[in-house]
A and B are shown apart, each in its own frame.
Chain A
Amino acid sequence: MSSRMLDVKDLAVSYGMITAVKGVSFNLDEGEIVALIGANGAGKSTILRTISGLERAKSGSIQFLGKELTKMPAHKIVEAGIAHVPEGRRVFPRLTVKENLMLGANIVKERSIIQQRLERTYLTFPRLKERQAQLAGTLSGGEQQMLALGRALMTGGKLMLLDEPSMGLAPIIVEDIFRIIKEINEAGTSILLIEQNAFLALQTASRAYVLETGLISIEGKSSDLLKDDRVRESYLGA
């Protein structure tokens, strides 16, 4: 039995008058890949952004390794061990690949640890090593996604939040990225994954939650959801 890592209870988030997330509960155990799937506007990104402190919860709680995150500022949450890979990659275009990676380790002081993480990141992404002196803005979309993942690895987080890692990428590159995501998970990082491509998400994750306009409608093992008629009809197009 693995232990509970993330426990979200009755989370509600609103943007002004509009409630984007209306009381969502889910959890994630250490070592797991869990997916949140759902259509545009279902509130998936909002949930991730609230976990990493970029949005404030209206009510509910987020427990991460026993710590309450809802009142913590974003940079403290990273220190607590959560690495967020934001939607659309958001690398720093006018810094080099290596400088981008070094920013991921901004919270770390010891040079030896930074060096160690850099080695690990370059082992996972040999392509980033090849391009380390290049400006991040000149990378291809797939490489930028790798850089965003690598940068998150550099924070040394125990839980990685991935927001639409397949967005805007060619199918062959998406396959690559998801293989690497699995590798990162096997190396010991838990992953909370948001993905519009439900089929891909269910293939990667062990469990999944289906989100519909701010509420969780279906949850279960990925293998069960792949067979679930409602899921097949709405999200898998079968």
Chain B
Amino acid sequence: MKPLIRKLLPILGVVALYYLIMYLKSIKVMNPYHIQVLMFAGVNIMMTISLNIVNGFTGQFCIGHAGFMSLGAYGASIVTTMIFGGFSVAPNLRIPVFLLGLLAGGLVAGAVGLLIGIPTLKLKGDYLAIVTLAFGEIVRATLRLIEPIGAARGMIGIPPYTNFAWVLFFVVLTLIVARNFIYSKHGRACIAIRDNEIAADAMGINTTKYKIISFVFAAFIAGVAGGLYAHIMSFIQPDTFSFVKSSDLLVYLYAGGTGSLTGSVLGGLLLTVLPEALRTFGNLVNWRIVIYAVTLVIIMLYRPLGLCGGKELPLLKINRKHLYEKSIFSKKSVHPSETPN
């Protein structure tokens, strides 16, 4: 019974959170603007987790992550708006079309991730940073030139399918999948590459393969997040996904703490909500960007590894105890607490 309860508890918590927010909305404590900020926070959390898989867990350095987000946003919007005609879709088909769009967005981003990952991830060192930096800008420049999707003016008329429930659902789904990936054999191989690529190589780990796996996986998540974003905004423009967006994501990641899913959630949430929250403080409005920056400096001074660098809520960890409970030698139990010494 107990493990079952332990498994259900987080899900109940998420459901409770959803109803709490819906309740706060119904009694007008939260207005649609608040909800929208929370939805952006959700998208940013997904983007941060995605970046964390590459930068935090595999030890590579991607600095053009907004490029994948824009590919996902455009990919999803093309499916929902141009292929299925946007607002003219029958109401009962809206959810399947929306999900199909998100899947398409994820796949486009993942496929492009594979395309640029294969040549660059073979190399060791900082090449990925340079290539992804260029990649983000190439995507932006190219999208600005494609007339059928609005070129530099952007794409309008995207139906706002994304609601708070969907964002919450995808954030939780991303967390579960990312957690299971990290604590799998594959995730362990990625962490080994981060900690010491040479030793990982010497252990028979195909480092290129695992780097590509984690990169494509991250690109897919970023694509889905981009799709969600497009269907919140109803309008996307290539310049939204510029290098500024990529560097924002890096800030969320490093302030939250690399190598920690808890940190990604915290970083994405706090740093999306904070600049918006500062808008409401009358005279401080003009200073909000300054306050935002100072907050970041303080975080990095007092928590150089980020808010939760390398640490994790128990919820987001796989309980590693089972690894040590299995009896290695037939008679003796080898749980560490029972070993003498």
Using a CB–CB cutoff of 8 Å, the interface residues on chain A facing chain B are 52-54, 73-75, 78-79, 83-86, 90-96, 98-99, 102-104, 106-107, 115, 118-119, 122, 129-134, 151, 155
Q: Determine the residue in chain A with the shortest Cβ distance to B209.
A: A75
Contact status A122-B328, CB under 8 Å: yes
Contact status B205-A103, CB under 8 Å: yes
Q: Which residues of B contact A75 (CB under 8 A)?
A: 201, 204-207
Q: Which residues of B contact A119 (CB under 8 A)?
A: 328-329
Answer whether residue B88 sits at the interface, using C-beta atoms and an 8 A cutoff: no
Give the Cβ gap from A206 to chain B, nearest Cβ, in Å: 25
Q: Which residues of A contact B195 (CB under 8 A)?
A: 92-95
Q: Which residues of A contact B200 (CB under 8 A)?
A: 92, 103
Q: Determine the residue in chain A with the shortest Cβ distance to B208.
A: A73
Given the interface contacts A54-B198, A129-B339, does A99 sit within 8 Å of B188 by beta carbon? yes
**Per-residue interface assignment for chain B, residues 324 to 339, with 1 indicating a CB less than 8 Å from any chain A CB and 0 otherwise:** 1000110000101001
Give the Cβ gap from A135 to chain B, nearest Cβ, in Å: 10
**Per-residue interface assignment for chain B, residues 126 to 142, with 1 indicating a CB less than 8 Å from any chain A CB and 0 otherwise:** 00000000000000000
Contact status A132-B202, CB under 8 Å: no
C-alpha spacing A106/B310, complex, angstroms: 23
Give the Cβ gap from A73 to chain B, nearest Cβ, in Å: 7
Contact status B202-A86, CB under 8 Å: yes
C-alpha spacing A143/B191, complex, angstroms: 21
Q: Which of B196, B205, B341 contacts A106 (CB 8 A)?
A: B205
**Per-residue interface assignment for chain B, residues 178 to 201, with 1 indicating a CB less than 8 Å from any chain A CB and 0 otherwise:** 000000010011011001101111
Give the Cβ gap from A153 to chain B, nearest Cβ, in Å: 12
Contact status A103-B324, CB under 8 Å: no
C-alpha spacing A83/B203, complex, angstroms: 7
Answer whether residue B6 sits at the interface, using C-beta atoms and an 8 A cutoff: no
Contact status B188-A151, CB under 8 Å: no
Q: Determine the residue in chain A with the shortest Cβ distance to B339.
A: A130
Q: Total number of A-B contacts with CB less than 8 angstroms?
A: 95
Q: Which residues of B contact A93 (CB under 8 A)?
A: 195
C-alpha spacing A71/B198, complex, angstroms: 18
Give the Cβ gap from A102 to chain B, nearest Cβ, in Å: 7
Give the Cβ gap from B338 to chain A, nearest Cβ, in Å: 11
Give the Cβ gap from B5 to chain A, nearest Cβ, in Å: 25
C-alpha spacing A118/B324, complex, angstroms: 12
Contact status B188-A78, CB under 8 Å: no
C-alpha spacing A134/B205, complex, angstroms: 23
C-alpha spacing A54/B202, complex, angstroms: 8
Q: Determine the residue in chain A with the shortest Cβ distance to B202.
A: A84
Q: Which residues of A contact B7 (CB under 8 A)?
A: none
Q: Which of B192, B201, B339 contacts A74 (CB 8 A)?
A: B201
Contact status B191-A132, CB under 8 Å: no
Contact status B203-A155, CB under 8 Å: yes
Give the Cβ gap from A178 to chain B, nearest Cβ, in Å: 21
C-alpha spacing A92/B189, complex, angstroms: 10
Contact status A94-B191, CB under 8 Å: yes
C-alpha spacing A165/B16, complex, angstroms: 56
Give the Cβ gap from A7 to chain B, nearest Cβ, in Å: 21
Contact status B202-A103, CB under 8 Å: no
C-alpha spacing A75/B202, complex, angstroms: 7
Q: Determine the residue in chain A with the shortest Cβ distance to B320.
A: A96
Q: Determine the residue in chain B with the shortest Cβ distance to A74.
A: B201
Contact status B324-A133, CB under 8 Å: yes
C-alpha spacing A28/B317, complex, angstroms: 46
Contact status B192-A79, CB under 8 Å: no
Q: Which residues of B contact A133 (CB under 8 A)?
A: 320, 323-324, 336
Given the interface contacts A75-B206, A79-B204, A94-B310, does A129 sit within 8 Å of B334 by beta carbon? yes
Q: Which residues of B contact A78 (CB under 8 A)?
A: 202-204
**Per-residue interface assignment for chain B, residues 203 to 247, with 1 indicating a CB less than 8 Å from any chain A CB and 0 otherwise:** 111110000000000000000000000000000000000000000
Give the Cβ gap from B125 to chain A, nearest Cβ, in Å: 14
Contact status B334-A107, CB under 8 Å: no
C-alpha spacing A79/B205, complex, angstroms: 10
Q: Determine the residue in chain B with the shortest Cβ distance to A90.
A: B199
Q: Which residues of B contact A83 (CB under 8 A)?
A: 202
C-alpha spacing A151/B199, complex, angstroms: 10
Q: Which residues of B contact A151 (CB under 8 A)?
A: 203
Contact status B310-A129, CB under 8 Å: no
C-alpha spacing A92/B328, complex, angstroms: 22
Q: Which residues of B contact A92 (CB under 8 A)?
A: 191-192, 195-196, 199-200
C-alpha spacing A73/B199, complex, angstroms: 14
Q: A54, A92, A98 — which one has the most chain B CB atoms within 10 A of its CB?
A: A92
